Amino acid sequence: MNHFMVFTVVIPMLTAMVCLLFGRDNLAIKRGVGLAGVLATLGAALYMFGVAFDGAMVVYSMGGWQAPFGIVFVLDRLSGSMVLLTNVLALFAYLYAINGSDKGPYFHFLFLMQITGVNGAFLTGDMFNLFVFFEIMLLTAYVLAIYGSGAERVKYGTRYVFLNMIGSAIFLIAVGVLYGVTGTLNMADMAVKAAAVGSQDAMLLRSGSYLLVTVFAIKAALFPLYFWLPGTYSVAAAPVAAIFAIMTKVGVYAILRSTTLIWGADAGFVTGLVVPYLLPLALVTLALGVVGALAATRLRALIAYLIIASVGTILTGIGLYTADGISGALFYMAHSTLISAGMFLIADLVREQRGAAFGDRLDHGPAVRQPVLIGMLFFIGAIVMAGLPPVTGFIGKVLILEAAIDSSWTMWLWSVFLAASFFTLMAVSRAGTVLFWKSQGEPSEDAPDVGLRLIPIAGVFSCVLAMTIFAGPIVAFTDATAAQLLDKTQYITAVLGGAR
């Protein structure tokens, strides 16, 4: 059996429980256990990525119950690479956290459970199990979002919690409708059954599908459902905001997976259900994200809006619904997840060294105590985030722009993309100028040093650098991933075998 499939879920869950045993004390032990857990999960994720790299599809049936009756985990190129991305990001966020941002009794437990939920959501091949992993992910996210307390965090956290609780209710209704119509919860089986639904149930199937995509759009922060994001992300603690960078991508993943599998080609009454709406909505998301970034008054709010813009970029690529478009979107997804997490960490350094009065407000405040170091980090991060050549953001955007040449949306897509890139550059340069050049007043001497927290940020940068240098092989891989996604029979055969 392929028991390695459950390791990326079981290892963080078990280490989380171990951390829970140590309660309020023993910070050093919890850090050690947590770090071991994060590293072991990353190892498992690397192994899984290696297995999936050549295009193998591995299906793991929980407790030996065969699909479509039992719950399955499905490893393919997409889920393998998403799990790897999650755990690389988790390592960086965790390394940052254990250098002083992990005060409080349950941080390590919550952080590891968050990874559990995200990994599970990427791997599962069952609709209801997806719901359960979403809930694990969300419940820990609720607590992490208000971790450390404070009026701002509780205020935005409350909205985040209530909105997502409504989202969960809609998710259950959607799953209920789809189960009522297709009689299955297994995604592969649902794809087969949905394609064969008769006209008497077509409207029910379509409304269930629309409800489901609405829920995924809330998670992905797609226009018009992104208003929860800037507040929540911009006030969360730095390592939490960094790990939240993957959370919107879970929504994007769910949209991509269900769009290619259930609402893809030859799907009867739900053929191409979402695709016509995805592209325009994604372009609006991109445009509004950049407008928000221009108007942001705090550095972390600016980054949060750029996350929304990046979701718009990714979903534009998916909305093109060609192999090239999806491939470019996947490349951009890895890039934007890493760099937005890195930027949240840098913003935290800025906030800390400017002192409590100014924090990360984009205002003429005191200088940071280590202007050269933090300024350089910000400068590199901003270049990557804005997508200047020759780094990853630029490559990702070019891939999507190229993919759009034959599309009927070319004019809109090109103009929105290019304008958005320009205004993103403007927004980050304005922030950099205000923070590092137009500072007034002496830096406070007692501000904490960057110290070891440089390591995770350097880690993010080296990943981006590696993605730039090895862009050729990586794009070959994302091309193969897109091809695998668009051929849904491969997934269905892997899960259901010849039995269908």
Residues that bind another protein (CB under 8 A): 128, 132, 135, 139, 142-143, 146, 149, 151, 154-155, 157-159, 161-162, 165-166, 168-169, 172-173, 175-177, 179-180, 185
Which helix H or strand E contains 29, and what residues bound it? helix 27-53
Q: Is 75 helix (H, G, I), strand (E, B) or coil?
A: strand
- Cβ proximity to another protein: between 161 and 471 the closer is 161
CB of 463 to another protein, least distance (A): 34
Cα–Cα distance measured from residue 143 to residue 158, given in angstroms and rounded to the nearest whole number? 10
Q: Quick one: 146 or 281, whose CB is closer to another protein?
A: 146
The answer to whether 357 touches 265, Cβ cutoff 8 Å, is no
Q: How far is the CB of 304 from another protein (least distance, A)?
A: 18
Q: What does the block give as tokens for 367?
A: 């200088």
CB of 221 to another protein, least distance (A): 19
Distance CA 290, CA 283 (A): 11
Distances (CA, A) of 203 to 115, 260, 445, 454: 37, 20, 66, 54
CA dist 218 and 227 (Å) reads 9
Nearer to another protein, 133 or 226 (CB): 133
Closest CB 256 distance from another protein, rounded Å = 25
| Closest CB to another protein among residues 173, 398 | 173
- Residue 145, both tokens: 């979002």
Among the listed residues 115, 110, 351, the one whose alpha carbon sits nearest the alpha carbon of residue 235: 351
Please state the three-class secondary structure of 166-215 as a single string.
Answer: HHHHHHHHHHHHHHHHHCCCEHHHHHHHHHCCCHHHHHHHHHHHHHHHHH
Smaller CB separation from another protein, 184 or 484: 184
Residue 128 Cβ vs another protein, minimum distance, rounded to whole Å? 6
Phi and psi for 298 in degrees, rounded to 5?
A: -130, 150
CA separation for the pair 369, 443 (Å, rounded): 5
Q: Which is nearer to another protein, 181 or 261 (CB)?
A: 181
**Comparison of 153 and 488: residue with beta carbon closer to another protein:** 153
- Minimum CB distance to another protein, residue 135 (Å): 5
* Cβ closest to another protein, residue 152 vs residue 449: 152
Q: Which is nearer to another protein, 219 or 397 (CB)?
A: 219
Distances (CA, A) of 68 to 71, 427, 489: 7, 49, 15
* Crossing angle for the helix pair 7-21 and 107-123, to the nearest 10 degrees: 160
Minimal distance in Å, beta carbon 216 to another protein?
17
Give least dist CB 169 to another protein, A. Answer: 5
Nearer to another protein, 135 or 363 (CB): 135
Q: Is the dihedral of CA 426, 427, 429, 434 positive or negative?
A: positive
| Rounded distance between C-alpha atoms, residue 372 and residue 386, angstroms | 21
Nearest in space to 308 (alpha carbons), one of 327, 281, 328: 281
Q: Which two tokens stand for residue 11?
A: 């290892």
Angle at 257 between CA 252 and CA 263, to 5 degrees: 115
CB of 237 to another protein, least distance (A): 16
Least distance to another protein, CB of residue 291, Å: 22
Nearest one of 384, 401, 203 to 313, comparing CA atoms:
401
Q: How far is the CB of 24 from another protein (least distance, A)?
A: 18
